[in-house]
Structure 1
Amino acid sequence: MEHKEHATTSWGTAASATLHCLTGCAIGEVLGMVIGTAAGLHNAATIVLSVALAFVFGYALTMRGVLRAGVGLRAALGVALAADTVSIAIMELLDNAVMLTVPGALDAGLTSALFWASLAGSLVVAFVLTTPVNRWMISRGRGHAVVHRYHHAH
């Protein structure tokens, strides 16, 4: 079955969806980086923790809104998986690539301006480069388009 293309999706809609996704990603990413750095974990373990927490918080924020609209837990998880998986994966790939690319960023420590500036910069890069992907997906009824019907339901 061929999927009919939706009307052109605005950049504002795409940016809003990306910002929503970035919120959950940023919470998980920052928490993972802070825990990993504070605990003295190896850089690879810190990144794995950050990515895992980014997915958990990203999905949780989407599920919260869908559950509030009266959808059951299993269905809400399905909506979150459909809405956020690609967006979170791209964001995590980008922001961790930035953190690995900036010399010394992961080893700088929690009191270092380099650590925090690199982390903030990595999230900006992730937002800027993921927004066009989300725009394309929403225009095809995928990604955050799956969530929109539930946001307007309450």
Structure 2
Amino acid sequence: MILWFAEVAGSVVFVAGDILRTPESPVLKWGFVIVTLFTGPIGLVLYILSCREPLPGVHENYVRARWRQVVGSTMHCVAGDGIGILVAAAVLSPLGLPEWVNFLAEYGLGFLFGWTIFQALFMRAMVGGNYLLSLRKTFLPEFVSMNALMAGMIALSVPWRQALGMLATPTHPEFWFIMSISLTLGFIVTYPMNWWLVSAGLKHGMMTIRPEGHPVPLAAGLALAGAAISPSRQNPSIPSSKASPQSPSARARNLDKARMIVVSLALLSIGLTIAGTVGSLTTS
């Protein structure tokens, strides 16, 4: 654990200092720092390989690759959700409540923080600054992404915390180590879901923002949660939001959304099953 925490500290210091020179959006800059705080050297490697500008002036093309776009989307998700999850876990862990209560609190606070702040608030400019519209547009992407994140996290954190007993409380380093590794696993599980969301134009990926402050649009990274984009900024690879609800393209998108919900809930069910089988959801 000492080695891990030392690596986390070094990784956060490097990313926080270096990302200031990277022409990325402010919310994703914060996202990379926060996720590196969760995942240590893994976050550092992801930052270097997916976001850090290798040469001046090439960031736009460098982050265009789909896998890098998805890293940005997943970073955004895990950063916001992870803060809420950690706050709920830190507050409730010492109380000795049944794990199902902890799960509901961690899921609820993680979802609310990720949805209302990291998604809808920080990215409201993508829908013209309308916060209520941003809330509506980001609900589904946040929901399915959160389900996948929580599936990986709870499958590991519940049995591990129960095995350590009182050591797995916020006053002990074991608690933070468990939550760090569990969030890392959650990142891995939700990455394919974010790939799906970015591919469907339901979540943004990386962006490039130069000193003048204007974002440079990228393929698969223009729309935030299927938001309507002005014609001058719309990407042809993302279906128009003005399509008729009865059109074949609209029906296909709705079917795709339904599949995402089913898959994410299936993943969450698997995570809960593992947590309840290896550990227990009815005891503390």
TM tier relative to shorter chain: 0.7 to 0.9
Task: Tell me which residue corresponds to 2:104.
Answer: 48
The separation in 1 between residues aligned to 2:163 and 2:96, in whole angstroms, is: 14
Offset, 1:134: 1.0
Could you tell me the TM-score, scaled by structure 2's length?
0.46
The separation in 1 between residues aligned to 2:225 and 2:202, in whole angstroms, is: 10
- Structure 1: unaligned runs, 5 residues or longer: 1-7
Offset, 1:9: 6.1
Task: Tell me which residue corresponds to 2:142.
Answer: 84
Residue range with higher mean Cα deviation, 74-83 or 11-20: 74-83
Higher-RCO chain (CA-CA 8 Å, sequence separation at least 6)? 1
Task: Tell me which residue corresponds to 1:127.
Answer: 187
Q: 1:23 aligns with which of 69, 73, 79?
A: 79
Task: Tell me which residue corresponds to 2:224.
Answer: 147
The separation in 2 between residues aligned to 1:97 and 1:12, in whole angstroms, is: 27
Residue range with higher mean Cα deviation, 8-17 or 25-34: 8-17
Task: Tell me which residue corresponds to 2:130.
Answer: 72
| % same residue | 22
1:98 aligns with 2:175: no
Conserved? CA contact 1:37–1:110, under 8 Å? yes
Conserved? CA contact 2:151–2:189, under 8 Å? no
Larger radius of gyration between Structure 1 and Structure 2: 2
State the Cα deviation string for residues 35-58 of structure 1 (Å, max 9, x = none).
112444332212211110010011
The separation in 2 between residues aligned to 1:98 and 1:106, in whole angstroms, is: 15
Residue range with higher mean Cα deviation, 79-88 or 136-145: 136-145
Offset, 1:123: 0.5
- Structure 2: unaligned runs, 5 residues or longer: 1-63, 205-220, 231-284
State the Cα deviation string for residues 68-119 of structure 1 (Å, max 9, x = none).
4533233111112033111011101211111113252575211222221111
The separation in 1 between residues aligned to 2:192 and 2:86, in whole angstroms, is: 24
Offset, 1:149: 7.8
The separation in 1 between residues aligned to 2:123 and 2:173, in whole angstroms, is: 37
Greater helix content: 1
Residue range with higher mean Cα deviation, 116-125 or 43-52: 43-52
